[in-house]
Structure 1
């Protein structure tokens, strides 16, 4: 499968969201959507990223943009994570890695010489027409939510 590039149609998905909701990309067409993939609920980097996106969520909302965080965690874990950190962004559960694989973020990683499969922290900005407007791979959390907000403003 070839890597997604700017201008490609974003792969659609339907996943279980927090609070038992269903989240699909196609249901949000007509407005920009920030889809960010992260490895695991309640780990330091993922928590910082979710808090940063939640803090800026009102700014994204003013621009008509929705934010969806996706990880392989279950929706029950997402609910606890949201409650613990007062998160306002939508979180979607992808335990079967369907969206992770469609977006090419389920990759071989290496830590301390050990190889394993995991989520590469990545963010995709989908425009109102469902096309990829911006892609960030191997995201560093510091300043990332702000950079994504700037990209939404530029749409």
Structure 2
């Protein structure tokens, strides 16, 4: 499991817009990665909308924000269009990144156990070190808290 001040694992994933996103290409910038379970579900939609509402503030501050889930780029594109999302959505269909960040975990619903993404956000500093981690995220106020924490790194 990743800890504060550990080096964020590098990765390259496709975005919903067809471009490739490589974390270490952003060295020197502050990066927010929010991992979420599934496109177009109630909680995930609220979280993506909350980050989207702050996207211009993040951009103006030079902070890069990306959401990551195991959904395909096609599902991401539909999700983004349907809700007019402003954030970049990255597709981790092989679950390599969710596993390397320790957010692919055993979950339980109605007594059944299954593997899924634990809603988690990582704030990564300009040296690609983890500056903050929010695990088992509660959505109300979360994007604001992440933004305020990111501003302190500037």
TM-score, normalization by structure 2: 0.98
Distance 1:87 1:45 in 2: 14
Distance 2:138 2:144 in 1: 12
| Correspondences of 1:49-60 after superposition (within 5 Å) | 49-60=47-58
Q: Tell me what 1:101 maps to.
A: 99
Structure 2 residue 69 is matched with structure 1 residue 76: no
SS in 2 for 1:20: coil
Q: Tell me what 2:125 maps to.
A: 127
| Correspondences of 1:30-49 after superposition (within 5 Å) | 30-49=28-47
Q: Tell me what 1:89 maps to.
A: 87
Q: Tell me what 1:15 maps to.
A: 13
SS in 2 for 1:18: coil
- How far has the Cα of 1:153 moved from its partner? 1.1
- How far has the Cα of 1:150 moved from its partner? 0.8
Distance 2:85 2:26 in 1: 20
CA contact (8 A) 1:6 1:133 kept: yes
Match of residue 65, structure 2, among 51, 67, 73: 67
Distance 1:104 1:12 in 2: 14
- Structure 1 segments of 4+ aligned residues over 6 angstroms from their partners: none
CA contact (8 A) 1:63 1:152 kept: no
- How far has the Cα of 1:126 moved from its partner? 0.4
Distance 2:22 2:99 in 1: 16
Distance 2:81 2:25 in 1: 25
CA contact (8 A) 1:14 1:23 kept: yes
Cα RMSD between the aligned structures? Answer: 0.6
Unmatched runs of 5 consecutive residues or more in structure 2: none
Distance 2:114 2:125 in 1: 33
Q: Tell me what 1:116 maps to.
A: 114
Distance 2:51 2:20 in 1: 20
